[in-house]
């Protein structure tokens, strides 16, 4: 409901309500000295021009990000969250892992902004354009969904005491390539520990597709005679994997 309230509270964008961007805006210092309310108004106007396919100026939106992150201006941050939440939510919903996450899109929107804030605060200067900031925010949106699903899978694979206390995913989005390699190695190893097709079907459909035992039974009645069979296979596999020292070491590394 939070995202819906935020969208409802956002003022309508009407081009007549906002001033034209200053034609002779000087250097960055001029923009830094501009009243925040005026920066917001120009940013809204330029955003409208973007969505209409008209030539637009991204300096005002970028300045709002700078004030929010570098100057830690709460009003600027509130505007950014309000204005870009619908966009972040669309990125979350496009993630292939979202459906199996079990969380709401609103939860991931908040998590994406939080991860973005923490990751970018100390290195804002590495993102010189609005496009680079939004691309990073998009990576954060995808990353928090994947991290959530992966954490759920690990939690079911091993008992809680087998995981180190700092196992919560901490990787920044620009490490996604390394994470994908690790993920592939992880599931490749899991596959070598499965004894038959029934186990492979249960593990893949439970932890990758996020299906429930009843759904697995419904789809693969050629392998299982009842839903209880699916539960038994899943329980046996998890019990065996939880005792696997190599898997414990892999997850703890």
What is the number of H-type helices and E-type strands within the chain? 12, 0
Q: Where are the domains of the chain?
A: 2-150, 177-252
pLDDT score of 63 = 93
Q: How does pLDDT run across 108-135, given as a tens digit for each residue?
A: 899 999 999 988 888 899 999 999 999 9
Per-residue burial over 190-220, b = 16 or more CB atoms within 10 Å of its CB, e = otherwise: beeebeeebbbbbbbbbbeebbebeebbeeb
Per-residue model confidence as pLDDT tens digits over 175-221: 444 444 445 566 677 878 888 989 888 887 776 666 778 888 888 88
> In sequence order, what DSSP letters do the residues of 49-95 get, joined into one string?
HHHTT-----HHHHHHHHHHHTS--HHHHHHHHHHHHHHHHHHHHHS
Percentage of residues of the chain with pLDDT beyond 90: 17
Distance CA(132)–CA(172), nearest Å, equals 15
**Distance in angstroms (rounded) separating the CA atoms of residues 59 and 70:** 15
Residues 190 and 238: their CA atoms lie apart, in Å, by 11
pLDDT of residue 253: 54
- pLDDT for residue 88: 92
Strand, helix or coil at 201? helix
Kindly give the parts of the chain with pLDDT less than 70: 1-29, 150-187, 207-210, 250-253
């Amino acid at each position: 409901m939070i995202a819906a309230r935020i969208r409802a509270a956002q003022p309508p964008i009407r081009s007549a309500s906002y001033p034209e961007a200053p034609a002779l805006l000087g250097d960055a210092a001029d923009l830094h000295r501009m009243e925040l309310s005026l920066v917001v108004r120009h940013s809204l106007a330029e955003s409208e021009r973007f969505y209409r396919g008209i030539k637009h100026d991204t300096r005002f939106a970028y300045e709002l990000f700078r004030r929010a992150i570098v100057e830690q201006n709460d009003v600027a941050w509130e505007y950014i969250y309000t204005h870009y939440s619908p966009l972040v939510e669309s990125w979350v919903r496009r993630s292939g892992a979202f459906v199996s996450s079990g969380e709401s899109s609103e939860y991931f929107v908040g998590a994406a902004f939080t991860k973005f804030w923490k990751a970018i605060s100390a290195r804002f200067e590495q993102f010189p354009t609005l496009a680079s900031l939004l691309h990073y925010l998009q990576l954060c949106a995808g990353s928090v969904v994947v991290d959530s699903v992966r954490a759920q899978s690990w939690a079911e694979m091993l008992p809680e005491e087998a995981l180190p206390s700092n196992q919560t995913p901490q990787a920044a989005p620009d490490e996604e390539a390394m994470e994908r390699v690790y993920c592939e190695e992880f599931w490749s190893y899991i596959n070598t520990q499965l004894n038959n097709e029934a186990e492979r079907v249960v593990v893949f459909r439970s932890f990758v597709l996020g299906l429930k035992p009843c759904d697995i039974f419904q789809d693969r009645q050629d392998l299982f005679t009842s839903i209880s069979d699916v539960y038994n296979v899943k329980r046996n596999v998890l019990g065996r994997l939880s005792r696997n020292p190599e898997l414990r070491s892999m997850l703890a590394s």
